[in-house]
Amino acid sequence: VTEAVEQDAGEHDAGRAESRKPVILTVDDDPQVLAAVARDLRRHYGSRYRVRRAPDGREALAGLDAMTLAGDPLALVVADQRMPGLSGVELLALVKAREPRAKTVLLTAYADTDAAIAAINDVRLDHYILKPWDPPEERLYPILDELLDAWDADHHPPFEGLRLVGHRWSPDTHRLRDFLARNLVPFRWIDVERDAEEAGRLLEAAAVQALPLVVYEDGHHEVAPTNRSVAEAIGLRATAEAESFDLVVVGAGPAGLAAAVYGASEGLRTAVLERKAPGGQAGTSSRIENYLGFETGVSGAELTRRALTQAKRLGAEILSPVDCLRLTPQDPYRVLHLDDGTTLAASAVIIATGVTYRSLDLDGAERLRDAGVFYGASMHEAKAFAGEHVVVVGAANSAGQAALHFARFAATVTVLVRGKSLAARMSSYLVEQVDKTQNIVVRLETEVVAVHGADRLEAIEVRNGDGGRETVAATGLFIFIGAEPSTAWLEGVCARDEHGFLLSGAALVRGRGWKEPREPLSLETSLPGVFAAGDVRASSVKRVASAVGDGSIAVHFVHQYLGL
């Protein structure tokens, strides 16, 4: 977007505060008059407003587009009536249509008074001022003071930060919302249907039709950008500063972040690679009740925020989004091959890639993925389901937590459980809370057998214990049906058990991949110097605390390995 409107001479946008001052725009085709109006405006209003000028209506409108994208508030437009192209009245009518709250003032010669008076009715002109306006203390400032006071009283400072315009049911929009929310990036979500006016203004200003549209804080925009492109634009780090590290941790869930904290604090040059967003599964939890030291529970997002800050403060490099595709030994290094084609060499590696949710093998489920069918809990989606019917599939703690969280917003939440009881796999405190929550319905011995909807989920079909089928209207289906370890990329490199979990330490008896004359260290995988921590490890306890424990213990054995 070109910045057609000239910044006023002498105006230096030194910092953000300066650039966020509301704008007074003055438009006149006569350069001398334009300079004189701008000078008088700046003298009186310069400390509170930015005074900008444009030589004609067309450039003024182009400048307004740039301001809309940058989120700069427009307080007042002062336009001359007689200009080539758009007249003052025509321009101010367009300004009012775009920025209904902005105040508009027409500068006219005495001969044009009739046009000005007509414009008060026709285009809701706020005022007209006759030229010349000298002395401004009498003929200009009193009028503008009043208009600006009224504008100020009605003005809410705009959201400063990234804005995402999209369709609620678009998988691309969901991807970006999920990425931003889970990377703890503040952003304003503008739904094209629910916030049609604001969305329309931004789309028009950006001159695009396609969605999702990301408008960055500085006003530049991208349509359907990749997560990496957004990460780069907002300063998330996806590229390492160095090519080799003492320790590279793969995965930034609780295990990986704990390994980062201990590794960095104990003097190891440490990098953490995360393919989606720091926090892992725990980051998607609405409330972790059993993590030591948080007596009233802690949300996954908050725990992640703290752990991330701690790891960074201690000197770990957190790179996200970075997908680790392969690991190859090049003694004495372990080399990680990343999705951007680069490699990182590490003296030791901790694999903390956790697990991912199994997907539902049903017709249409893949097509409606992220358009009503979600895997795991996307907690920030909950508000979007206000007043609607949401179905949660699963019977373990994660399903229970999700049901309770969604019940705060949705009209009803149905929990579908294949087994005969909720208590079989869910902690009793959760079962009790689910029972007590009035808008949660638990249906035992019931499973989902089909999903329906053209481009978003509209209904699901369920089968109950006696084989009967039923179609149930639902806009959200959240699936928690067990998880598989994220280890496919290590096939043939690190020994795994029959379910794909990494074997380590004492479990690595000879014949299962361990070839060294020494015994493997605790948590060490079949590839010496590569350790497993958290949910990805065979026989691990699937808990936040145990993942954190694994991460810290693994660092202890990394030191031993490096000292060998």
The secondary structure of 270-335, three-state, reads EEEECCCCCCCCHHHCCCECCCCCCCCCECHHHHHHHHHHHHHHCCCEEECCCCEEEEEEECCEEE
Quick check: 547 binds ligand FAD (CB under 6 A)? Answer: yes
Window 292-331: contact mask with ligand FAD (x via CB under 6 A): -------------------------------xx-------
* Pairing assessment for the beta strands 412-416 and 389-393 based on DSSP bridges: parallel
Quick check: 280 binds ligand FAD (CB under 6 A)? Answer: yes
Nearer to ligand FAD, 290 or 421 (CB): 290
Quick check: 254 binds ligand FAD (CB under 6 A)? Answer: yes
Nearer to ligand FAD, 332 or 482 (CB): 482
Nearer to ligand FAD, 225 or 280 (CB): 280
- 3-state DSSP helix/strand/coil percent for the chain, to nearest 5? 35, 25, 45
Contacting residue, 282, 346, 392, 554, with ligand FAD by CB under 6 A: 282
Contacting residue, 173, 304, 347, 353, with ligand FAD by CB under 6 A: 353
Contacting residue, 11, 191, 289, 388, with ligand FAD by CB under 6 A: 289
Quick check: 377 binds ligand FAD (CB under 6 A)? Answer: yes
Contacting residue, 22, 55, 63, 256, with ligand FAD by CB under 6 A: 256
The distance of closest approach from Cβ of residue 275 to ligand FAD in the complex, given in angstroms and rounded to an integer, is 4
Reference 165, options 177, 179, 157; nearest CA is: 177
Contacting residue, 274, 317, 381, 524, with ligand FAD by CB under 6 A: 274
Quick check: 446 binds ligand FAD (CB under 6 A)? Answer: no
Nearer to ligand FAD, 304 or 526 (CB): 304
Quick check: 67 binds ligand FAD (CB under 6 A)? Answer: no
Quick check: 539 binds ligand FAD (CB under 6 A)? Answer: no
Q: Rounded distance, CA 551 to CA 329, Å?
A: 22
Contacting residue, 67, 77, 180, 255, with ligand FAD by CB under 6 A: 255
- Chain centre to alpha carbon of residue 190: 12
The distance of closest approach from Cβ of residue 419 to ligand FAD in the complex, given in angstroms and rounded to an integer, is 19
Phi/psi of residue 131, each to 5°?
A: -85, 145
Q: Is 283 exposed, middle or buried (0-12, 13-18, 19+ CB in 10 A)?
A: buried
Contacting residue, 397, 446, 475, 504, with ligand FAD by CB under 6 A: 397
How many positions of this chain bind ligand FAD (CB under 6 A)?
40
Nearer to ligand FAD, 68 or 525 (CB): 525
Q: Which two tokens stand for residue 200?
A: 């329309």
- Chain centre to alpha carbon of residue 380: 10
The distance of closest approach from Cβ of residue 486 to ligand FAD in the complex, given in angstroms and rounded to an integer, is 4
The distance of closest approach from Cβ of residue 288 to ligand FAD in the complex, given in angstroms and rounded to an integer, is 4
Contacting residue, 276, 334, 389, 496, with ligand FAD by CB under 6 A: 276
Q: Rounded distance, CA 441 to CA 372, Å?
A: 19
Quick check: 479 binds ligand FAD (CB under 6 A)? Answer: no
Q: Rounded distance, CA 238 to CA 159, Å?
A: 26
Nearer to ligand FAD, 205 or 273 (CB): 273
Nearer to ligand FAD, 106 or 322 (CB): 322
List the beta strands (DSSP E) in 87-147: 103-108, 127-130
Buried/exposed code over 511-544 (b: 16+ C-beta within 10 A; e: otherwise): eebbeeeeebbebbbbbbbbbbbbbbbbebeebb
Quick check: 281 binds ligand FAD (CB under 6 A)? Answer: yes
**Cα dihedral 492→228→211→286 (10° resolution):** 80
Instruction: Give how far Cα 357 sits from Cα of 46, 321, 360, 431, Å.
Output: 57, 19, 9, 22
Quick check: 236 binds ligand FAD (CB under 6 A)? Answer: no
Quick check: 376 binds ligand FAD (CB under 6 A)? Answer: yes
Quick check: 534 binds ligand FAD (CB under 6 A)? Answer: yes
Reference 147, options 55, 37, 61, 24; nearest CA is: 24
Nearer to ligand FAD, 183 or 446 (CB): 183
Q: DSSP character for 351?
A: E
Quick check: 544 binds ligand FAD (CB under 6 A)? Answer: yes
Distance between start and end Cα atoms, the chain: 59
* Pairing assessment for the beta strands 447-452 and 23-27 based on DSSP bridges: unpaired
Quick check: helix, strand or coil at residue 482? coil
Kindly give the interhelix angle for 113-122 and 88-98, rounded to the nearest 10 degrees.
20
Quick check: 252 binds ligand FAD (CB under 6 A)? Answer: yes
The distance of closest approach from Cβ of residue 554 to ligand FAD in the complex, given in angstroms and rounded to an integer, is 11
Neighbours of 460 (CB within 10 A): 27
Quick check: 231 binds ligand FAD (CB under 6 A)? Answer: no
Contacting residue, 73, 251, 263, 505, with ligand FAD by CB under 6 A: 251
Among 46-54, 194-202, 246-254, 438-446, the segment contacting ligand FAD (CB under 6 A): 246-254
Among 44-52, 109-117, 219-227, 535-543, the segment contacting ligand FAD (CB under 6 A): 535-543
Contacting residue, 489, 513, 522, 552, with ligand FAD by CB under 6 A: 489
For residue 138, the surrounding DSSP H or E stretch is helix 136-139
Reference 257, options 555, 549, 559, 548; nearest CA is: 548
Nearer to ligand FAD, 166 or 253 (CB): 253
Neighbours of 165 (CB within 10 A): 26
What strand order describes the sheet that includes 440-443? 373-375, 476-479, 389-393, 412-416, 440-443
Residues lying near ligand FAD in the complex (CB under 6 A) are found at 250-256, 273-276, 280-282, 284-285, 288-290, 323-324, 352-355, 376-377, 397-398, 401, 486, 489, 534-536, 542-545, 547
